[in-house]
Amino acid sequence: MVTGKTKSGIKFQLDERIKDDARFLYYLAKAQDENADMGEQSKAVTGILKLVFGNDEGVINFMNAVASKNGGVCTVDVMLSELTEMFDAIKAKNSSSSPQS
């Protein structure tokens, strides 16, 4: 598990194995696909959030935390920025625990 706090103060605990989950990689590719329409991209982002936070309640709790740090609004840009910070923490943990050559 990776625990931490984003720059805005949102505390998190994520299973670091998520980065290797084929479903996560599928949704991430769909979310970033320039040829996908907004509906497909939205479904992909929703899929990522459910994988990361477990269920609708976890997703809502995350979005409420984002909104509380953003003047009461959970914008997509801020939400994705917070999520990126969380995944950066996973990358940092993995790179610091990797053996150096």
71, part of any domain: yes
Buried b (16+ CB within 10 A) or exposed e, 49-84: bebbbeeeeebeebeebbeebbeeebeeebbeebbe
86, part of any domain: yes
- Identify the domain containing residue 39 by its residue range: 2-90
100, part of any domain: no
Report the pLDDT value the prediction gives residue 90, as an integer from 0 to 100.
Answer: 83
Query: pTM above 0.85?
Result: no
Report the pLDDT value the prediction gives residue 101, as an integer from 0 to 100.
Answer: 47
72, part of any domain: yes
Q: How far apart are CA 15 and CA 10, in angstroms?
A: 16
pLDDT at 97 over 70: no
9, part of any domain: yes
Residue-wise pLDDT tens digits, 47-93: 999 999 999 999 999 999 999 999 999 998 899 999 999 988 888 87
Report the pLDDT value the prediction gives residue 82, as an integer from 0 to 100.
Answer: 93
Question: From residue 95, how far is each of 47, 88, 92, 100, 101 by CA, in Å?
Answer: 26, 10, 5, 9, 12
